[in-house]
Amino acid sequence: MDKSISTSKSHHNLLPIDNDSILPPEQEQGNVEYKLKLINPSPNRLEHLVTQMKWRLEEGDGEAIYEIGVEDNGGLKGLTEDEISSSLQTLHMMADKINASVSITQEKLIESTRNDNNPRKALEVLVKKIPADRQAVEIRISVLGNVEAGKSSLLGVLTQGELDNGKGRARLNLFRHRHEIRSGRTSSINKEILGFDNRGKPIKYCDYQTSEEICQLSSKIIVFIDSGGHRKYLKTTVFSLTATHADYAILVINALSPLDCGTNLLHLSLAIALEVPIMVVINKIDLCDDQMIDRILNNVRTLIASPFCKNKIPITIQNGNDIIAYSNNNNRKNMVPIFLISCVNGDGLELLYDFLHLLEPSMDSFNRDKLIKQNCTFQIDQTFNIPNLGVVASGFLRSGLIEEGSVLKVGPLDDGHFVDVFVTSVQRHKVNRPQIYSMPHSSAVISLGSSAIVYIENVRQCGVILAIKHKEQIYADESASVIIRFIRRPEYIRNGYRLLLQFERAKAIGHVTKFACLSMVIDVGVYHRTFYSILLHRMNVTIDCKFYGTIFTLAGYRKFDDNRQKFQAAITAITDEKNHPRFIIDHHQQQSEQRKQKENIFNDQSYCFELSESKPKPEPLIVVAIDFGTAYTGYAFVFRNDIDQIHYMRKYSSLDGHEGKVPTSLLLDYRRKFHSFGQEAKNFYYNLKSSQCFRYGYFENFKMKLYSNGENQTKIDANLKLKPINQNYEIEAMEIFSMSLEYLCQQAKDEIGQKCGLRLTHDDIVWVITVPAIWSDQSKQFIRLAAERTGLICGEMLRIALEPEVASLYCRKFLSNELRNSKSKIQSTIEPGISYLIIDLGGGTVDITAHQIQQDGFIKELHKSTGGPYGSNEINRKFEKIIEKIFGSKRWQRFRKESPSTYLDLMQAFELRKREAKPDHHTPYNILLTFSFITYFGGSKELTKLFDKNAPNGLSYSPKLGIIRIDMILMNQLFRSVIDPLIDICRQILEEQKSNNIRYMFLTGGFARSAMINQQIKLMFESKLMVVIPSQAHLAVLYGACQYGLDPTLIRSRRVRQTYGIAIMERFDQSIHPHSKRMISAQDQTEWCTDVFDKFVEMNQSIGLFESIKRRYKPIFSTQNSCIFHIYSTTNMMARFVTDQGVQKCGALYLELDTIQFPNGVNPAIQQLLQREIEITAKDLQTGYDVRSNIDFISNLNK
């Protein structure tokens, strides 16, 4: 409802102001904000204004002054009545989003001028934060129903405020695991919230981006608990009913399926037995005709009125009057409302919103106050760790209060004891609170049988019935007192706790009445709780205890000497996932013997670490290769017992010819969390409405950020940032690459699991990730760190491979057949001694290297890899620059953000024409413009003017046909920008390698299939050597990477891309050493030259796989007890000192010398070993003492 405020003289003070009057200039700090006017802001602008208002309110402790009609310099310009009305409306929109009120405190009349006779005013407006002095009413609803009923889609639509697309898009916002996204089935308990303000308006994620905002603005919060519908997830469903204490349950039924199919009746019977009020939603009615809807509705009504449901009363909600009738009926506990819903067209959703708003809590204020006065009992459902903050326990407050600073106890541990904790902060639905108190929630749990799964709150353990009072057996509809003993471990249970027993073919409910040792007597009862999270710190021990998932970990290990067994027992009890603490209670709830302080088995003497000898690992079963490309990405895998059969990525429908791969595109949701990857991400983003784009972050072509050359001098380190193409915020590049690799790894593991039926561990898979050979060492290490960060790849099972090298393996193994079938006069096999060029043509970069087949069949690198940013995307980029110049940079960038689908249509059309391009093509290449493109830029007449004025020669627009024409000269020019430097590099390598008689040139990569590229290369070089383009050129890297993973020794010799060495000191020689490097030893007055760059290996030097470079050094002083070797690298061949231009520190090696004895005149020998991922080893040859160090290229070691 729109708000308006009167601006008449009778309500506010009117002060006449002359035009020369001004206020003091606006200050960045403080709670006063100047605004000239606020008229129809865009969604992005509105979001910025809201953030600005939050800042001013924080500066003013909840109050802010807005001067409307005032410039930033303080000048009073004033506004007309229409402008004032529109500005106030915007101000109210801003205030509503942060739960603030708006009131006019003063109006200022601006005297009219000669040029403007309209009266103008300036306003002073007070914005005041509405205090949240009470907790919102919370109602918990468990969502039940069979698989494919559309439960998650329904919740996605209700909470997100966006309709489903008929393919399950709405449910993606609820899924917690990737396998849920892939299968479309919920397997875990998911919670989502829906808020209502005081007027009954739903508060959804489409309007507010975080749950914190929703909670702050809501007077009532609906918490939906979504669980699995499949029968194999039944224990999760039961757990959701017993542990979450739902006030109500929604049974979602698929209108297309029989009522008794799957778990519908089972879930319904559970809710009936647990006495949870039920409502029924018949979903997917958009797929049914009226006759089908009537049939399923009659079946549901008949079932509800049957004895199976205890003869409840069905009521079909068809309008608002039905909702009011239900709310006013005192017998509504026996009534079951029925809704007819479509998540695709929105039928019935407004009625469901209205119904949810009118739902009432299940406990009155008297019982609620009584519950608050009881002792504190907080039930832990989930625990996790926040870096630099501490342990968070998430769960439900069953009774009492929790305040910041209070001391509670957590347990029970395996021995039944509790441990002190300190409450640092308290949150309710992620909103900080000084204190929280228990909220009303109905619940129920069960009992009976010989052995059963016992569900008590969040306890889930097998129990055995020891005795049944006055009976030998219990039959259906009978009640009795029974004694049950837990089998595994003690649990924290109190009298009155409700429980549920699940037997093989039956169930029973009850509550705890008394205890006998480790047994409990069960009867009937009820209890209440709600969802909170509290931050904990361990007390009264000398170590910090942190939670992670449901497992405790220790921040530091101390010596324990005499208490070793006690220490191990305590650690086992805390870290055992099956035995993690489940409750936090206050001091008054434990028996006197439990109040005694536990023996402190730790001491503060020193830290110690225990290392156990690792068992030899079996050879991995599978090799998975990931070709992470700039434009397209894919994976392949091979089983070690069938190395000739390469399995490529699942076949995805590809309209652009990249079979077995997906676009390298990543989409983040409004929380900056992973949404989707590949074609799914690309389609989702480019089909968004312009008003929705700002909620997502879209990344593409981001791999090029890791390429650094003369033009792009990006610093590659752990702090590297990436910006979405449609947003202004930045996010860590490491996070983006890690998300992408995690998606690919999980996809590969799932596909492997489906093929072999095995549960794979880290040791079963060797991962190979390919990178361009021209990448820097920093970029290669960056990819390794991103892969390890996924948690799916173990560092020792990961190999980084160079794209041209693995492509060479593919060419060597498979192309002999193609050559044998060729009609050319070359020999039919690639024999030892033959040399060849490999040109890997990708989307972002081109890698070129020269290889030779040795006599033993292995590969030797003849020339270090080189290349540049000459991939296919460079042509797209140059074409877009031309178009951008025609329309202007600002206008074009705005078009990209506001009309992403139209932009994609244009670039895809150019991509198709680019692939059709041939050197002998003589007709123009036509690109059909969409209607939305033409209308966005003002129509055909405007386009004609822009192209006539700004388009280069060879590019024209035809208004009659609505097409852009690119003539062959311009298209050739676009291709020449990548062909010319590529040919120059090939000529240089061939000139340098004349003695090796290079005879073949292999073109691999997706760009190799371009006729324009391969024909131009053939034209230039086919007279000198044989140019071969494999039929599966785009998959050559993947195939070769699989072979490399099976046997990394296939590449026996490589060329070093940089010069590596260390900093040493030499005897000073004034004839060769600069005086600035002279240093005199204070010990013996010896003159030394400092910062000398002693090179281990020089750039382009050939290093064998098992070859080592040895150097011998001596400590300067005999009293030294340690040496630090600083490792440096450079591409400057003339560098003499580590301070020369281009020399940078890339690692360090620390060697203890105090335990090594050096006879006079004998130097310790230091052996340096370099591999592809460079490792340095320093070793004393006399004692065998050695130290290894991997060079760290990412960290800033120059500090």
Instruction: State pLDDT tens for residues 374-391.
Output: 667 777 766 766 665 667
Please provide the average confidence, as pLDDT, over all residues in the chain.
74
CB 111 within 8 A of CB 17: yes
Q: Is residue 666 in some structural domain? A: yes
Least confident of 693-707, 751-765, 931-945: 751-765
- Whether residue 1108 is predicted with pLDDT greater than 90 in this model: the reply is no
CA-based R_g, the chain, Å: 36
Which tens digit of pLDDT belongs to each residue from 292-303? 888 889 889 888
Beta strands in 804-959 (DSSP E): 835-841, 846-853, 859-868, 925-928, 955-958
- In angstroms, the CA 263 to CA 227 distance is 12
Do 271 and 358 reside in the same domain of the chain?
A: yes
- 1199 is a domain residue: no
Task: Provide, for the chain, the percentages of residues in helix, strand and coil under a 3-state DSSP scheme, each rounded to the nearest 5.
Answer: 30, 30, 40
In the predicted structure, residue 489 carries a pLDDT above the cut 50: yes
Residue 156 in tokens: 């996605």
pLDDT of 43 above 80: no
Checking if the pLDDT of 1082 tops 70, the result is: yes
Spatial distance between the Cα atoms of 1091 and 1064, rounded to a whole number of angstroms:
6
**Among candidate residues 745, 733, 753, 602, the one with its CA nearest the CA of residue 677:** 745
Say whether pLDDT at 1164 is over 50. Answer: no
Residues 80 and 152 in one domain: no
The pLDDT tens digits for 590-601 are 433 333 333 332
What is the CATH number for 1080?
2.60.34.10
563 and 574 in a single domain? The answer is yes
For 840-879, letters b (16+ CB in 10 Å) and e give: bbbbbbbbbbbbbbeeeebbbbbbbbbbbbbbbbbbbeeb
Give me the CATH number covering residue 309: 3.40.50.300
- The Cα–Cα gap between 722 and 729 comes to 9
Judged against a pLDDT cut of 60, whether residue 1044 lies above it is answered with: yes
Does residue 599 contact residue 566 with C-beta atoms inside 8 Å? yes
454-486 residue pLDDT tens? 777 777 777 777 777 766 666 545 677 777 877
Q: Which long-range contacts (CB under 8 A, 24 or more apart) does 519-523 make?
A: 519/466, 519/483, 519/484, 519/485, 520/483, 520/484, 520/485, 520/493, 521/481, 521/482, 521/483, 522/447, 522/481, 522/482, 522/483, 522/484, 523/481
Higher pLDDT, 101 or 1143: 1143
Residues composing the chain: 1199
- The CA-CA-CA angle for residues 958, 964, 970, to 5°, reads 120
Residues 145 and 280 in one domain: yes
Pair 556, 393: CB distance under 8 Å: no
Structural domain boundaries enclosing 1091: 1056-1190
The reply to whether 569 and 652 lie within a common domain is: no
Question: Over 90: is that where the pLDDT of 184 sits?
Answer: no
* Average of per-residue pLDDT across 667-674: 90
Calpha distance 274→446 (Å, rounded): 8
Six-digit token string for 869: 């940013």
- 1177 C-beta neighbours (distance < 10 Å), count: 15
Which is more confidently placed, 799 or 1150?
A: 799
Tokens of 496: 């009155």
Amino acid at 710: G
Closest C-alpha among 1014, 681, 984, 733 to residue 872: 1014
Are residue 538 and residue 666 in the same domain, yes or no? no
pLDDT for 592 equals 37
- Where in 531-607 does DSSP place strands (E)? 531-538, 545-548, 551-554, 583-585
- Please, what's the b/e burial string for 467-478 (b: 16 or more CB within 10 A of its CB; e: otherwise)? eeeeeeebeeee
What pLDDT is recorded for position 291?
87
pLDDT in tens, 770-822: 998 888 878 888 899 899 888 888 878 899 988 888 888 888 776 555 555 55
Last residue of a domain, one of 469, 494, 523: 523
Let me know if residue 655 belongs to a domain: yes
CATH assignment at residue 75: 3.30.110
Q: Is the pLDDT of residue 665 over 60?
A: yes
Question: Does the residue 877 lie in any domain?
Answer: yes
By three-state DSSP, how is residue 1145 classified?
strand
**Residue among 650, 647, 673, 668 nearest 660 (CA):** 650
Please measure the distance between the N-terminal and C-terminal CA atoms of the chain and give it in whole angstroms: 59
Residue 426 has pLDDT above 50, yes or no: yes
What pTM was estimated for this model as a whole? 0.50
Is 509 part of any domain?
A: yes
Whether residue 488 is predicted with pLDDT greater than 70 in this model: the reply is no
Q: 423 with 552, same domain? A: yes
pLDDT at 1181: 53
- End residue of a domain, out of 931, 950, 971: 971
- pLDDT confidence bin for 1084, thresholds 50/70/90: confident
Residue where a domain terminates, one of 928, 952, 971: 971
The CA distance from 575 to 553, in Å, is: 6
Do 605 and 559 touch, CB atoms closer than 8 A? Answer: yes
pLDDT for 61 beyond 80 = no
Judge whether residue 193 has pLDDT over 70. yes
Q: Cβ distance 525 to 497 under 8 Å? A: yes
Q: Are residues 230 and 328 in the same domain?
A: yes
Asked if the structure places residue 75 within a domain, the reply is yes
Domain shared by 91 and 208, yes or no: no
Computed from CA positions of residues 158, 159, 164, 168, in that sequence, does the dihedral angle turn out positive or negative?
A: negative
Residue 997 is predicted with a pLDDT of 83
Q: Return the beta strands (E) in 970-1072 as ranges.
A: 998-1004, 1026-1028, 1051-1055, 1059-1067
Three-state SS sequence of 365-395: HHHHHHHHCCCCEEEEEEEEEECCCEEEEEE
The answer, yes or no, to whether residue 1166 has pLDDT greater than 50, is no
What value does the mean pLDDT take over residues 432-459? Answer: 54
**Residue reference for tokens 């209890």:** 527
Residue 713 lies in a domain: yes
Say whether both 1121 and 1064 belong to one domain: yes
CA-based diameter of the chain, in Å? Answer: 109
Q: Are residues 497 and 436 in the same domain?
A: no
Both 839 and 899 in one domain: the answer is no
- The pLDDT assigned to 735 comes to 92
Count of structural domains, the chain? 8
- Which one-letter DSSP state was computed for residue 188? S
Q: Does some domain include residue 649? A: yes
